Amino acid sequence: MDLTQFTTTLVHFYRAEITRSNTWRTRLDATTNWAVVTVGAMLTFAFGSPQNPHFMLLLAFLLVLMFLLFEARRYRYYALWAYRVRLIETDFVAPILAPPFRLSSDWAYHLVDSLAEPVFPISWSEAIGRRLRRNYIWLLSLLLLSWWAKLTVHPKSTVNMTLVVERASIGPLTGAWIASGVGAIYLVLWLLVLISYVYPAWYVSAPRFARWIGKMPASRKGPVVFQPSANEQLVTIISTHGKDISDRILQELGRGVTVLQGTGAYTGEPRDVLLCAVTDVQIPHLQDIVSHIDSQAFFVVSPVQEVRGGDFRPFEPPS
Choose among 206, 203, 204: nearest CA to 231: 206
pTM: 0.62
Cα Rg, the chain, nearest whole Å: 28
Task: Decide if 80 contacts 120 (C-beta within 8 A).
Answer: yes
Q: What are the extents of the domains in the chain?
A: 3-204, 231-303
Choose among 147, 228, 216, 236: nearest CA to 185: 147
β-strand partners of 173 = 170
Contacts of 212 (CB under 8 A, 6+ apart): 122, 123, 203, 205
Rounded Cα distance, 196 and 199, in Å? 6
pLDDT above 70 coverage of the chain, percent: 82
Estimate to the nearest angstrom the gap between the alpha carbon of 164 and the chain centroid. 44
- pLDDT for 31-89, tens place per residue? 999 999 999 999 999 998 888 999 999 999 999 999 999 999 999 999 888 888 888 88
CB-neighbour burial class of residue 56 (10 A; exposed 0-12, middle 13-18, buried 19+) = middle
Residue 317 confidence (pLDDT) above 80: no
Choose among 140, 147, 141: nearest CA to 54: 147
Task: Decide if 150 contacts 46 (C-beta within 8 A).
Answer: yes
Long-range contacts, stretch 112-116, CB < 8 angstroms, 24+ apart: 113/207, 113/208, 113/209, 113/281, 114/80, 114/83, 114/84, 114/87, 114/209, 115/84
Q: Angle CA(30)–CA(33)–CA(35) in degrees, nearest 5? A: 115
Residue of 2 and 13 predicted with greater confidence:
13
For the structural domain made of 231-303, what CATH number should be given? 3.30.70.120
- pLDDT for 292-314, tens place per residue? 999 888 898 887 766 655 554 44
- pLDDT for 255-300, tens place per residue? 888 899 988 887 888 899 999 888 777 788 888 899 999 988 889 8
